Structure 1
Amino acid sequence: MTEATEAFRELLDTLRDLDRGFLEGDRAVTDDRTLADGYRQILTTLGVALDTYLFAEPSRPRFVDTNTPFRRDRRWGGDNTDCYYALCPIDPTRRYRITGNRGDSVYFSVTAYNEPSPGAWSDKVVAIVRDTDVTYDADGGFTFDLGPLPEAAVLLTRDYQSDPLTGRRIEWQIEALEEPDPIAHGTAETAAGLRASAAWLRTMFAIIPLTVGVRSDDAHTIGHEITQRANDFGDPYQVADANFGWSARDAAYSFGSFVLEDDEALVITYRPPACRFWNFVVWNQFMATHNADDARCSVNGTQAVPNADGTVTIVVARRQLDHPNAVTTVDYPRGNLAFRWFLPDQVPAKPDVQLVKIADAPAEVS
């Protein structure tokens, strides 16, 4: 038996066992739809893993979409409807040239992350280039070089759009400035890629599905997540250079969960800080939302209509309501909620949340 054969069968074993995380134990999901989401998530995550660890060629680099507002097979990992993410594994000893055009981006960056071992999730931001760090030609084009970057294993781009339905995304190009390595797709290289993919999958499904809080005053600790109740948010926090996964160094986050009856709504009110961009998104328990043209499952700082006092109120229900900032869970009774703020001047205060009957929810700004 070749090493590739062994590694392939190990990957199959990993895939076979991943659904235990959402079928059994404290994180078992409770409805048919979320169960189906779990199997979709396994295959979505497998696609990202193979792009990252099996098919990538660091000396022949290419950015591959990992999340977009419009690909249902790339909804994972805390996605949203406003951003395009693209990934490219790199060789830390090489130099690279990156080009693109900013299009309608309201914020973009390229972040280099480490990889503690093959397939292990990053725990460190190695370098970051923001849109304010580069120069542009008259048409919005840009070029910059990166590397060598000791410890770096992968580059991840972020391109946030105020209107994903009409905005022109960045089309990223990358080239290695030295001659490429010989092509080597033998059993050893294939086995290494398959094993790294399996390791990455196992870590992802150690995190998901996210636990939904309980509708009571009994707070609980749920894995890597903060102590919280359903229909509430945890305290916002700023990402540090030491991170987990591919978190955005420029972002502050606040996460929550919801448990809603048909006739209930969440009324979320907060004061946005001065920042480059913010959005709010509804996730299923696998940290995934719907496509931007499926339903309104998120709202961002450009779209949101503020109240007269500068606060913003967002109304969440299982169906689409009439408030200008209303978003829908697309009839999910349970799931998760996320705020993100890019380059805020301060970590925002915790959003206020009220659970009300739909009949009592506001239909316009105050």
Structure 2
Amino acid sequence: MTHESTTAWRELLATLGDLDRGFLEGDRAVTDDRHIADGYRTLATTLGVALDAYLFPEPGRPQFVAVNTPFRRDRRWGGDNTDAYYYLCPVDPERRYRISGNRGDSAYFSVTAYNEPSPGAWSDRVVSIVRDTDLDVDADGNFSFDFPPTPDAAVLMTRDYQADPLTGRPVVWQIEALDEPDPIRHGDAETAASLRAAATWLRTMFAIVPLAVGTRVDDQHGLGHETAHAANEFADPYQVPDANFGWSARDACYSYGSFVLDDDEALVITHRPPACRFWNLVVWNQFMATFGASDARCSVNGHSAALNSDGSVTVVLSRAMTAHPNSLTTLDYPRGNLAFRWFLADGVPKRPEVKLVKAAEAPTATT
């Protein structure tokens, strides 16, 4: 007799064996050996996250598990950045929970509840959000609040953004169930269902990545819903709605772009940050991943950026570091993706301006 968990395990292995076709073949095939290697690293990373999210959790005995950090190389996926810690915890919508911790040196932190349309399917709706400004945080940084039974809440995702991830103390999170847990039973049917959910989650991730890199053009033209995607430009920023595919933050605005650079070129990116709690610009490979905060300077944020005299920010992006105080490196990747995010902005930001120049002609100081 073949057990259901055996069948599901073999289905998961078959899924893993097939997913690399998405970045090796067809219109989305990546074009350099580093991105091929990144594809396999992303497969391994997302398998680990999928098992953490679907195989091992017990909502009656909750635990927050790290899904993105500034330092763990096995947690670089899904739009990560060097400034933030994200933790995930599956929950039971009929249970009561208590969440507590210490804010550390966080510039912004929150807990968002997401739905799950079907087992392993990515969220398509923000159910609720608790921000740091909603909490009573004592003089020592401690906080505690109850999370009540919440219809459709399937997953809690924490966010903790640090002004300086190299020195900042991350938020410490604890979660406990206030109702008695069910008896532990890791049976055949439960394990099979969990493995199939993990496989669904993996297939969804690789339906999104690798991200497209725009076509390089000589003339300037805008990006948006009505125009073709061009390299070395950003799309119009947008505010995340309640109904949104994936794990985007409801209180964030985003703007995405891509780069295609020769080894002697640079992008001069200028934007005027709106009043907001936190913003950053991150360099990604085509799998929505960057390098760690201690590996290379692949992001800049509102605390680390040097301002121009008019309050705008200019960033110089090139394949190697330059003398500009807001220099970012692609680590010699010739192509990849870019992401701006702004938290709790007082309005949707204007689209960042981009100019392609020779690296030798890029600015070396603020203006």
Q: Match of 2:59? A: 58
Counterpart of 1:262, as a letter, is D
1:205 and 2:214 are equivalent in the alignment: no
Deviation at 1:5, TM superposition (A): 0.3
Q: Match of 1:244? A: 245
Q: Match of 1:160? A: 161
Contact preservation (8 Å) 1:44, 1:73: yes
Indicate how the Cα distance of structure 1 residues 226 and 141 shifts in structure 2: closer, same or farther if over 3 A, else same.
Answer: farther
Indicate how the Cα distance of structure 1 residues 226 and 293 shifts in structure 2: closer, same or farther if over 3 A, else same.
Answer: farther
> Alpha-carbon deviations, 1:234-259, whole Å to 9, x = none?
00000000011111001000000000
Indicate how the Cα distance of structure 1 residues 350 and 32 shifts in structure 2: closer, same or farther if over 3 A, else same.
Answer: same
In 1, distance between residues paired with 2:321 and 2:265? 12
> Alpha-carbon deviations, 1:28-86, whole Å to 9, x = none?
00000000000000010000000000001100000000000000000000000000000
In 2, distance between residues paired with 1:43 and 1:350? 35
The total of aligned residue pairs comes to 364
In 2, distance between residues paired with 1:50 and 1:117? 16
Contact preservation (8 Å) 1:87, 1:156: yes
Counting only pairs closer than 5 Å after superposition, residues 80-91 of structure 1 correspond to structure 2 as 80-91=81-92
In 2, distance between residues paired with 1:80 and 1:321? 21
> Alpha-carbon deviations, 1:142-175, whole Å to 9, x = none?
0000020100100000000000000000111000
Contact preservation (8 Å) 1:219, 1:228: no
Gaps of 5+ in 1: none
In 2, distance between residues paired with 1:225 and 1:96? 45
Q: Tell me, what secondary structure is at the counterpart of 1:203?
A: helix
Q: Match of 2:112? A: 111
Contact preservation (8 Å) 1:322, 1:363: yes
> Alpha-carbon deviations, 1:286-340, whole Å to 9, x = none?
0000000000000000000110111100000000111000100001000000000
Q: Match of 1:170? A: 171
Deviation at 1:359, TM superposition (A): 1.0
Q: Tell me, what secondary structure is at the counterpart of 1:267?
A: strand
Deviation at 1:227, TM superposition (A): 3.9
Contact preservation (8 Å) 1:281, 1:338: yes
Q: Match of 2:286? A: 285
Indicate how the Cα distance of structure 1 residues 219 and 37 shifts in structure 2: closer, same or farther if over 3 A, else same.
Answer: farther
Deviation at 1:138, TM superposition (A): 2.2
Q: Match of 1:188? A: 189
Q: Match of 1:129? A: 130
Counterpart of 1:271, as a letter, is R
Contact preservation (8 Å) 1:107, 1:276: yes
Counting only pairs closer than 5 Å after superposition, residues 271-310 of structure 1 correspond to structure 2 as 271-310=272-311
Contact preservation (8 Å) 1:226, 1:234: no
Identity %: 74
> Alpha-carbon deviations, 1:206-244, whole Å to 9, x = none?
000001001126999x9x998420000000000000011
Contact preservation (8 Å) 1:260, 1:333: yes
Indicate how the Cα distance of structure 1 residues 287 and 130 shifts in structure 2: closer, same or farther if over 3 A, else same.
Answer: same
Counting only pairs closer than 5 Å after superposition, residues 256-267 of structure 1 correspond to structure 2 as 256-267=257-268
In 2, distance between residues paired with 1:63 and 1:227? 40
Gaps of 5+ in 2: none
Q: Match of 2:270? A: 269
Please tell me the root mean square deviation across aligned C-alpha atoms, in Å: 1.6
Q: Tell me, what secondary structure is at the counterpart of 2:52?
A: helix
Indicate how the Cα distance of structure 1 residues 225 and 178 shifts in structure 2: closer, same or farther if over 3 A, else same.
Answer: farther
Q: Match of 1:348? A: 349
Contact preservation (8 Å) 1:285, 1:336: yes
> Alpha-carbon deviations, 1:106-161, whole Å to 9, x = none?
10000000000000000000000000000022211000000201001000000000
What's the TM-score, normalizing by structure 2? 0.97
Q: Match of 1:141? A: 142
In 2, distance between residues paired with 1:198 and 1:206? 12
Contact preservation (8 Å) 1:236, 1:254: yes
Deviation at 1:187, TM superposition (A): 0.7
Contact preservation (8 Å) 1:267, 1:315: yes
Deviation at 1:348, TM superposition (A): 0.4
Q: Tell me, what secondary structure is at the counterpart of 1:152?
A: coil
Q: Tell me, what secondary structure is at the counterpart of 1:43?
A: helix
In 2, distance between residues paired with 1:36 and 1:226? 32
What's the TM-score, normalizing by structure 1? 0.98
Q: Match of 1:311? A: 312
Contact preservation (8 Å) 1:227, 1:234: no
Q: Match of 1:216? A: 217
Counterpart of 1:16, as a letter, is G
In 2, distance between residues paired with 1:349 and 1:205? 31
Q: Match of 1:230? A: 231
